Structure formats: structure tokens, C-alpha cells
Amino acid sequence: METQDPFLKRLVRGNQKTFGIIGLLLLIFVVTGLVERSYWSPANLMNMLRYIGLYGIIAIGVSFVIITGGIDLSIGALIGLTGVLFPMLLIEIMPDAPVLVAFAIILALSLVVGLVHGLLITKLRLQPFLVTLCGLFIYRGIARSVANDSTKGFGNDFTALRETLVKGELFGMIPMPFVIVLLIGVIAAVLLNMTTFGRYLLALGRNEQAARFSGIHTDRMKIYAYMICSCLAGFGGIMFVLDTNGATPSKFGNFYELWAISGAVLGGCSLRGGEGSIAGVICGAALVQVTTTAVFFLGVSDTHKFTVIGAFILIGVTVDELLNRYAARRRALV
């Protein structure tokens, strides 16, 4: 008979990485707070939760693509495009249409972008890095031309919408983006861990050939992954522009794909594919936010900010890799 390990043991075993990240998260949070008390102020806590939410959304998106063994570099540019298009739709192009229509248009556009990425990658066998790198240039270029290089925002309109989705808090304490990322996270986790689609993604990320030989439509699954990624990036674009109330087409969303990828990788996604948990990704996105904020609060000047963050992430992934190797050796001996 098979014996089942106790629930707790199984929980820990499947999620060592996530627990590691949470530990690191707490460490930075506590140490920074001890050095600089205002880091723990309610205002800063809410601020951090808000940005964990915003960046978490796009990190979850890219993790689907990373799990297939791919990458999406166009996220930031797509955020730039949707970030200028959304206010343009509401204010200039169709001021009388309901907000939901603008939402639908942006999301549909993003899905098409993901579909095109997926088709190019699977049917023409182009490399994901190249396809999405070209996407990065193209969407940035389109954003600048549709907006005629001018900043787009809502001015004093749509304050209710901005309040509901981004600026407001649930029960007066949990920022809406964080609530939204938790909702999306639950859906994504269910999709990844409890449905056949999720299982197919994990399998093809590990070994695409073996998955195909098992009758899995690997191409179709990969296309879905790119669509999910772009869709969440497009939604992220809406959220970010609602937050800032101003999207400059030449730089809005710049580098955001790198924050998303950092979050996903810190959260346990392997760039080799086949590995990743949504809870981990949200924690990874949180780690990135907590760290960047800590760097600010610890008084590191803006000049050195990126150096410190980069070095920190590098140390994080190195330790993670070493721990994994150790765990793999232990497992092989059992």
C-alpha cells in the first residue's frame, strides 16, 4: 500500500522555494524597519501592498510563459501601448461608450498580441526571445505614434474608476490592486495546479517532445500561455495608468517586463521551464517591491539603487540554486 505523508510535510515539500522567499521577505522587512521605523508606517505598508498588486499581476502573466520554457520581453512596451490607449479611448476616441467597452477593447487587443506571439513561436518556430524583443520595439513605436508622443491621462475625470480599482482600499486598509492580484492569483493557481491545462503546461515545459508524444497539443497550450501573459500585461497597463493618471508613450512601462520576470524567477519559476507556483510568484513580486522600497528607505541614493537591487537579486537566485541542488542530492539518496 502507498503511504501518504502528513499534510504539513507535503505542503512544505512542494513549496520549499516559496517558504524560502517568504523568509527572505520577512528578513528584509524586519531589518529595514528596525533601521528606519517609518518603513513600517501604515502609509508605506499600503503603498507597498499596492505596488505588489500592480507588479504581481504582470509577474503572474509572465510566469505562464516562463513555465513553458519561453520568455516575454514585450510586457513593458505593451503596458506602454495599453496605458496610453485606455485613456485615449475613454477621453478622446469614444467618450460616450461605457467603460467596460474600453476594457474589452484593450483586453481583446492584448489577447491578439499574445496570439500573434504564440503563432510565430509555435508555427514558424521562431525563438520567443526574438519574437517578443521585436514586439517590444513595435508596441513602443505604435504607442508613440497613436498618442502622437504626448502624455495621456484622465485629468480630473474617472476619479471613481481610479478609486475603485487602484487608489482605494478594501475595508479601508487593503489596497485594491492587492485584492485584485490575490483574485487573479487564486484563479491562476487553480488553472495551473488543478486543471488539465496547467498539467499540460508543466509537462511541456519539462519535456515538450515527451508531452507531444503523450498526445498533448503542445503548440496550442503554448499559444494559450502567451495569450494569458499578454492579456495580464494589457490589464496591467490599464491598472498602471489608473494609478499614475498619466502615460508618456516613450517611457510608460519601460523595464516592467524585467520586474515581472525577476518576480517570477525569484518566486521559483525556472527559465528552463516546467517549474513554478503562483503563490511563489506573488511572493517573488512582493520581494522585489519590498527590496526596492527598502533600498529607498535605507537611504541608498538613486544613483546606486539599481546596482544594489541587481546585486541583491543575483544573491537571491544564487542561494536558491545552491539550496535546490542540495535538495536534489538529498532526494536522490532517499
Partner 1 sequence: MHALNDVSASFYQGEVVAVMGENGAGKSTLMKCLAGVHVPNEGSIYFDGKPVSIPNVNRATELGVAFIHQELNLADNLSVGANIFLGREPTKGGFIDRATIRSRTNRLIEQLGMQFTADTRVSDLSIGHQQMVEIAKALSQEARLLIMDEPTSSLTRHETDVLFELVRDLRAKGLCVVFISHRLAEVQEIADRVIVLRDGKNSGELPKERIDHDNMVALMVGRDLAFPEKKVTTLGKVLLDVQDLRVAHAPDERVSFQLRAGEVVAMAGLVGAGRTELARAIFGIDRIFGGTLKVDGTPVTIRDPRDAIAAGIAYVPEDRKQHGAIVEMTIRDNVVMAGLDRYQRLGFVQQDQHETVAVEAKEKLRIKAPTVAKEVGLLSGGNQQKVVLAKWISLGPKVFLLDEPTRGIDIGSKSEIYEVIEEMAEEGAAILYISSELEEVLRVADRILVMHEGQLAGELTGEEMTEERVMQLATGMDDSIS
d(CA 292, CA 182): 21
d(CA 167, CA 288): 21
- Which member of 44, 47, 207, 254 binds partner 1 (CB under 8 A)? 207
Instruction: Pick the stretch among 38-46, 177-185, 212-220, 307-315 that binds partner 1 (CB under 8 A).
Output: 212-220
Give the per-residue contact string, 144-183, with partner 1 (x = CB under 8 A; - = no).
Answer: ----------------------------------------
Instruction: Pick the stretch among 144-152, 211-219, 259-267, 316-324 that binds partner 1 (CB under 8 A).
Output: 211-219
Closer by beta carbon to partner 1, 177 or else 276: 276
β-strand partners of 169:
175
β-strand partners of 174:
170
d(CA 234, CA 108): 9
d(CA 174, CA 48): 11
Residue 303 binds partner 1, judged by CB under 8 A: no
Q: How many residues would you count in the chain?
A: 334
State the minimum distance, in angstroms, from the CB of residue 213 to partner 1.
5
Residue 227's nearest CA partner among 138, 129, 110 is: 110
Question: Residues touching partner 1: how many (CB under 8 A)?
Answer: 27
d(CA 95, CA 168): 24
Residue 194 binds partner 1, judged by CB under 8 A: yes
Closer by beta carbon to partner 1, 106 or else 216: 216
Residue 2 binds partner 1, judged by CB under 8 A: yes
Residue 47 binds partner 1, judged by CB under 8 A: no
Phi and psi of 70, rounded to 5°? -105, -165
d(CA 176, CA 47): 11
- Which member of 64, 200, 224, 256 binds partner 1 (CB under 8 A)? 200
Residue 228 binds partner 1, judged by CB under 8 A: no
Kind of pairing between the strands at 174-175 and 169-170: antiparallel
State the minimum distance, in angstroms, from the CB of residue 26 to partner 1.
30
Contacts of 215 (CB under 8 A, 6+ apart): none
Residue 274 binds partner 1, judged by CB under 8 A: yes
Residue 247 three-state SS? strand
Closer by beta carbon to partner 1, 3 or else 303: 3
Residue 217 binds partner 1, judged by CB under 8 A: yes
Interface residues with partner 1 (CB under 8 A)? 2-3, 194-200, 202-203, 206-207, 209-217, 274, 331-334
